[in-house]
Chains A and B, each alone.
Chain A
Amino acid sequence: MRRALPEPVEEAFAPTGWPEGFGEGPEERGAVAVLASLRGITPRNLHRLCWREESASAALAAIRAGRAGSDADRAHALVTDADSIVGASSAAGARFLTPHDDEYPSSVLELDDPPVALFVRGARVDVSERRVAIVGARRCSSLGGEIARDLGRRLGSAGVCVVSGAAYGIDANSHRGALDAGGRTIAVLGSGIDIGYPRSSADLISRIAEAGSVVSEYAPGVPAEPHRFPARNRIVVALASALVVVEGAALSGSRISVDHALDLGRDVFAVPGSVTSPLAEVPLALIRDGATMIRGADDLLHDLGVTVPAEGERPDPPIELPDNERRAWSALAEPLLPDAVARTALLSLPDAVAALIRLELRGLVRSAGGRYERTLLGVQARGDHPPADRRAPGSA
């Protein structure tokens, strides 16, 4: 697969992980807390500084002395004390983790620019747990949203934790799917742990904090800013063993996540779309570059080697539809205007509209932008596409 060019490293390289004893003991913990609250220095530069200075306390001293970091960081470091940060973190119901803590996930240490600290709300991030990241467009299509939700649901019921970024669209749907199934899910925020951003996801984030875990590398009070979201993606990917891209337009954040996945050697899966759909640009480019194409949850679980718990989970047998509805359904091989459905299905326009509305009330089709299209539920319920594991019985 084609790899993104690494960014030029002008300073001396830093080894992976952290120096011996980093973040261990009260003084180091305090220093890590203050370092985590700096807004000017990038995680990469902070990581290098910590290796150069060999401890968090020494790195903080260097910043306070003006030997590293920006003036704003220096001013901030001089007036900020660790207790206020750790206190604000507890007040937000979060645990403050340094790399020395057992709960700090070791897979995150594989990053070139690992977070100096993590703030975690909710359940402990289990070391042994299997995790899959799902990312994609914020402005996803209705179908893309359904696919993400279905992936989340199926991973959740198969006991795989779903990691995503709590953003609108694909992210939110993946988390919701996992929650629907009573499964585990982790949301990685691009803002301070106490800030529910985006606001449209605030409720979702609190539900994840109850049923799963919410993670951020940012100290309480750090606002959401555009550059924090690409940075957040590296943690989403690092926490997981595989990355699934559902929809993404060219030049989108999904591509950044994929670059991280390649750097970290994670498996990349992509859900394809139509070659004419702008939202299929990233997934199709990924598939062409060697990512594994999946048509849905069955393919993904099969490829991950995850055994699906109960055969009773299979969708109900295909729904029998009245004649007009069946004909309208068959016509919808692609999204169509109602009059095109009428022509293709050989129905009068009023009959076609009536059939479409009834199909919509059954949840099998939806109206999107003036045309009617099949829903994922519809495709599954009608059994038009046999799931992958029927193709290869017993191989999962």
Chain B
Amino acid sequence: MVTRAAGSVEFPARFTLVAAANPCPCGFDGDQRKHCRCRHDRVELYQQKLSGPLLDRIDLRLRVPRLTKQELLGSEQGERSGVVRDRVQEARERQLHRYESIGVACNAHLSGPLVRRHARLTPEAEELLASAVEALALTGRGFDRALKVARTVADLAASQHVGVEHLAEALSYREGFGEESFARAG
């Protein structure tokens, strides 16, 4: 939606945003081998370029560290993308089927109240979610989005319910960027 003096025009679009960023101006913040030479206030400024509300809308945030030699050489071969594609298609079909009656195609398109109704958390996962709201200081939006991701992780695992391991994985994706320098401030 673009709003100007003359009026508002809506440009409907469904998109997947994929973005990459450095952790700090020199790129070495948190690196185990090379010391970051940025002043701490510069790191904060740099990370604040991505505002909290914007980051809150990015569902999967990952820190990608420099790999050690062992990690590079020792890691097993990944799955073939054909296998992954099949799994994703199955998960999409599960979602289509589940939301048939409400005219929604997938988890991402659910509104907040619908997410909470359809998530189907196990009691153990409910408990973890309650403690995570506190510990990770989730916003209302962050809460809903974490639930959608958890529901999707469960769908990929062909699970009826969102178990604690699905929720935990979803929560781990909300941690990748922007907290560390605050943790260091103590």
Residues of A within 8 A of B (CB): 138-142, 145-146, 148-149, 168-169, 172-173, 176, 198, 200, 249, 276-279, 335, 337-340, 350-351, 353-354, 356-358, 360-361, 366-371
Q: Is the Cβ of A369 less than 8 Å from the Cβ of B180? A: yes
Residues of B within 8 A of A200 (CB): 40-41, 185
Question: Are B30 and A350 within 8 A (Cβ)?
Answer: no
Q: Give B91 Cβ to nearest chain A Cβ, in Å.
A: 14
Task: Give the A-binding residues of B (Cβ under 8 A).
Answer: 23, 29-36, 38-41, 43, 62-65, 71, 75, 128, 131-132, 135, 153, 157, 164-166, 168-169, 171-172, 175-176, 180, 183-186
Which of chain A's residues has its CB closest to B186's CB?
A173
CB of B185 within 8 A of CB of A168, answer yes
CA distance A326 to B164 in the complex (A): 17
A200 vs B153: C-alpha distance when bound (angstroms): 39
Contacts of B31 in A (CB 8 A): 369
**Contacting pair A369 B185 (CB below 8 A):** no
Which residues of the partner chain A approach B166 to less than 8 Å between Cβ atoms?
350
Set of chain A residues within 8 Å of B135, measured between Cβ atoms: 360-361
Shortest CB–CB separation between residue A64 and chain B, in angstroms? 39
**A354 in contact with B180 (CB, 8 Å):** no
How long is the Cα–Cα vector from A339 to B64 in the complex, in angstroms?
13
With most chain B CB atoms within 10 A of its CB, the pick from A142, A368, A369 is: A369
Name the CB-closest residue of A to B169.
Answer: A353
Q: Using Cβ atoms and an 8 Å threshold, which residues of chain A touch B62?
A: 370
How near does chain A come to B20, taking the closest CB pair, in angstroms? 13
Q: Is the CB of B184 within 8 A of A141?
A: yes
Q: A370 near B186 (CB under 8 angstroms)? A: no
Decide: B172 and A356 in contact? CB cutoff 8 A. Answer: yes
Expressed in whole angstroms, the Cα–Cα distance for A17 and B31 within the complex equals: 46
Please tell me if the beta carbons of B30 and A368 are within 8 angstroms of each other in the complex.
yes
The answer to whether B65 touches A369 (Cβ under 8 A) is yes
**Which residues of B are found within 8 Å of A338, using beta-carbon distances?**
172
Instruction: Tell me if A169 and B40 are in contact (CB < 8 A).
Output: yes
B36 neighbours in A (Cβ, 8 Å): 139
Question: Chain B contacts of A337 at CB under 8 A?
Answer: 65, 71
CB distance from B154 to the nearest CB of A (A): 10
A-B pairs with beta carbons under 8 Å apart, 24 shown: A138-B40, A139-B39, A139-B40, A142-B183, A168-B41, A176-B186, A198-B41, A200-B185, A276-B32, A278-B35, A337-B71, A338-B172, A351-B165, A353-B169, A354-B164, A356-B172, A361-B128, A367-B63, A368-B180, A369-B23, A369-B63, A370-B62, A370-B64, A370-B176
Most A C-beta atoms less than 10 A away, residue of B29, B31, B34, B164: B164
A353: which B residues are within 8 A, CB to CB? 165, 168-169, 172
A201's nearest neighbour on chain B, judged by CB, is B185
Query: What residue of chain B has the Cβ atom nearest to residue A324's Cβ?
Result: B165
Q: Which of B157, B168, B175, B184 has the most CB of A within 10 A?
A: B184
B40, closest chain A residue (CB): A168
Nearest chain-B residue to A279 (Cβ)? B35
Shortest beta-carbon distance, A395 to chain B, in Å?
A: 31
- CB < 8 Å neighbour of B184 from A142, A357, A361, A367: A142
> B168 to A357, Cβ gap below 8 A?
yes
Q: How far is the CB of A386 from chain B (nearest CB, A)?
A: 26
CB distance from A106 to the nearest CB of B (A): 32
In angstroms, Cα B40 to Cα A145, docked, is 14
Report the separation of the CA atoms of residues A368 and B38 in the bound assembly, to the nearest whole angstrom. Answer: 17
- 10 additional A-B pairs beyond A172-B186, A357-B169, A370-B30, beta carbons within 8 Å, are A138-B39, A139-B40, A146-B186, A337-B65, A351-B165, A353-B165, A357-B132, A360-B135, A368-B30, A370-B65
